[in-house]
Structure 1
Amino acid sequence: MTAHPTVRSAAPPSVAGRPAFRLGPLSTVRRPARVLVVLALAIVLFLVFCLNVGRGDYPLSIPDVVNVLVGGGSRIERFVVMDLRLPRALTGALVGAALAVSGALMQSITRNSLASPDILGITSGASVAAISLIVLSGTSTAVGLFATLGVTLAALVGGLLTAALVYLLSWRGGVQGMRLVLVGIAINAMMVALIGWMLVNADITDVTRAQLWLTGTLSGATWSQVWPVTAAVVLLGAGSVIMSFRLSAMRLGPDTARSLGVDVQRSQAVLLVISVAMAAIATSVAGPIGFVALAAPQIALRLTRCAEPPLIASALTGAVTVVGSDLVARTILPVELPVGIVTSVLGGPFLLYLLVRVNRKATV
């Protein structure tokens, strides 16, 4: 009797017991729970966004706002939504997304939950350059897209130079997360002192404008401010997504990443430049909005139950945080406050929570 070979049915590919999704040369693991979290965050962002656009002296319901956004509504409703409120809400959402992605990249690179542009002094460095342009050259009195791009480029250069300084001072045969944080805190204190010195020696009119900008505000946002941060989120966000595969390998450790063919130092440098650029551009548009880059990635990490901060979920969380904080600052409080004050009030306790958590890990 001849034995016939056993024919086994082809099983779907899987990674670590989970089914894989393949599209050409790309593949990833299917995680339905994380997809649901991202969809839920997107829905929350849409609702908060429409609510923020609809609230004001001329109130509009969410269906009214949606109707205007799709091309309907009366002439006055279109003017209120498209010209007065939509640029502010869009700027808040894009700035929040940019800061959150910047923080997620930095925390993944350093493997430290305390690493973020505002803690490491990068936001302060960008603020020094922007304040220099406002106070010393009077560029803040100019109008139009040219003035916005001038502040944007100055903030980008300031953020990059500060990041390079922090990186070089913390380098000792490699970059260790806690050493980078400590150096960044020291540089941040120096930048804050430099900002204070410039404000003391500036004209009182420029000081007033600079002080309002330093609190982090979306007041007076126009379409000319929307475009730079839109370009940053689209282009740099796409670059971070493309680099996310190398970032995933780097999370396994430098030796494992090198064995997978990843140039660790070059990848770290590229991701750091992307992170700094997004934070600097967001800061130049709305000022230093505190704690969004620190808290949003950690909140998204806990919602999705990932090992490291997820980029897309972090971006949505950051957008919800800034737009929601702007809604609170504009309509719920007795007087309108800059959005940066609200995010700082919410982010301060979260920073204390992270410090306690890191201290417990170090003790164990």
Structure 2
Amino acid sequence: MSAHRTTGAPAPRAGIALPDTTVLRTGTLSWLFPRRGALAATLLVPLLAALIALSVTASSTGMSPSQTLGGLLGTGDAGTVMVVRDFRLPRVLVGLMVGAALGISGCLTQTLAGNRLATPDLIGVNEGATAAVVAAAAGSTTGMVGDWWLGPVGAVAAAAVVVLCAGGAGSAGYRVLVVGIGVSTTLGAVSDLLMSRENDNTAGGVFLWAVGSLSGRDWSAGTPLLIALLVLVPLALAAGHRLQLLRFDDDMAAALGVDLRRVRGVALALAVALAGVAVGVGGPLAFVGLAAPVLAQRMAGPTRVPVVCSALTGAALVVAADALGRVIAPVELPVGVVTSVLGGPFLLWVLFRADRPARKD
């Protein structure tokens, strides 16, 4: 099987491979190995490891790195071991998985719609998950939010409404974006109305989750999220490979043997499921699904759908934002507040770059 090009970038001349690709052959089979994307992922892994170490250490309680290491290894006193192993480490790992899920979800939705603004938090998916969890907490006297699986249920319902109103998950990404903004606004208003009718205890607990918070997340929250990622991420990698062909027009992709309806439907379902489980566990973290794929695309290059780099970038953003929220102020800031503050300028940067005229070679 000869190597062929599967991206929307300008076609290389005959006999010349893509500059960031190595052709690996085994017998009659060949595989295009993305050198630039692999290098970017390789560099992101140690960066993510360093951020995890810093996040486990970061605290407003004044615990030193040596005490943190002792608690992690179990050589410290009982209190330190409990704080590090039962509170900090699970929280950091849950944040890592939430960020990875949001990063992949944003990558798939941006590629599907052909628009960098078409992310889970702008097309109604996050708000659908939020509305489901908030509605389940209505009437509670404990201030606790509902089960994590309510997030995927609400996300699926919101995505179904958006797709139906937009006339399908076709190539007209602007319609999905516009309809999604309308659905997101409506569901956000419903969530606010539900919280306004609750007592202070319930509304306060739900509001903390609704802005995006990893506080109190432990292994019981991380285990179902890990299982979901083990199932969804390999499927997302396969879908990302097929989505590369959608960068051609529909006729060309169909001529190459792509079932457009199936590929778009599967990719959208995976994006919704990933965003739903992430929001169900960590709340609707703003701008992660927007920023992670954009940064990943710049690192991996324009010729690929950067699923792996988006996951690593999203994980790094959430872990870093959570650590920053614990040390930047006397009172801990929810991670969603930090991502919102940082995401606003990033959104402006994306818009300004979109308006900049393309450079002619």
TM-score over 0.5 (shorter chain): yes
AA aligned opposite 1:180: V
Cα distance in structure 1, aligned partners of 2:68 and 2:329? 24
AA aligned opposite 2:63: P
Equivalent residue number for residue 355 of structure 1: 351
Residues 1:295 and 1:60: Cα distance change in structure 2 (over 3 Å)? same
Cα distance in structure 1, aligned partners of 2:357 and 2:108? 22
CA shift digits 1:270-294 (9 cap, x unpaired): 1101100110111011111100001
Unaligned runs of 5+ in 1: 1-12, 142-146
Compare 16-25 and 299-308 and name the one that shifted more. 16-25
Q: Secondary structure at the match of 2:31?
A: strand
Equivalent residue number for residue 11 of structure 2: none
May I ask how many residue pairs the two structures share in their alignment?
A: 342
1:296-315 alignment runs, 5 A limit:
296-315=292-311
The one of 48, 59, 65 aligned to 2:63: 59
Say whether 1:337 aligns with 2:333: yes
- Whether the aligned pair in 1 keeps the contact of 2:142 and 2:202 (CA below 8 Å) is no
Cα distance in structure 2, aligned partners of 1:25 and 1:356? 46
The one of 154, 158, 161 aligned to 1:162: 158
Equivalent residue number for residue 134 of structure 1: 137
Q: Please identify the structure whose Cα radius of gyration is greater.
A: 1
AA aligned opposite 2:101: A
Question: Over aligned residues, Cα RMSD in angstroms?
Answer: 2.6
Cα distance in structure 1, aligned partners of 2:206 and 2:281? 13
The one of 247, 250, 254 aligned to 1:251: 247
Residues 1:43 and 1:256: Cα distance change in structure 2 (over 3 Å)? same
Q: Residue 308 of structure 1: CA displacement?
A: 4.9
Cα distance in structure 1, aligned partners of 2:192 and 2:216? 24
AA aligned opposite 2:130: S
Q: Residue 336 of structure 1: CA displacement?
A: 1.0
AA aligned opposite 1:331: V
Cα distance in structure 2, aligned partners of 1:298 and 1:51? 25
Q: Secondary structure at the match of 2:22?
A: strand
Cα distance in structure 2, aligned partners of 1:259 and 1:329? 50
Cα distance in structure 1, aligned partners of 2:29 and 2:141? 50
Compare 173-182 and 35-44 and name the one that shifted more. 173-182
1:1-364 alignment runs, 5 A limit:
15-16=17-18, 18-22=21-25, 27-56=30-59, 57=61, 59-61=63-65, 65=69, 73-74=75-76, 76=78, 77-136=80-139, 141=144, 151-171=147-167, 174-360=170-356
CA shift digits 1:63-90 (9 cap, x unpaired): 964x876x56445454332212111000
Equivalent residue number for residue 6 of structure 2: none
Identity of aligned residues (%): 37
Q: Residue 138 of structure 1: CA displacement?
A: 6.0
Residues 1:169 and 1:20: Cα distance change in structure 2 (over 3 Å)? same
Cα distance in structure 2, aligned partners of 1:138 and 1:291? 31
Unaligned runs of 5+ in 2: 1-14
Cα distance in structure 2, aligned partners of 1:163 and 1:46? 34
Runs of 4+ aligned residues of structure 1 deviating over 6 Å after TM superposition are none
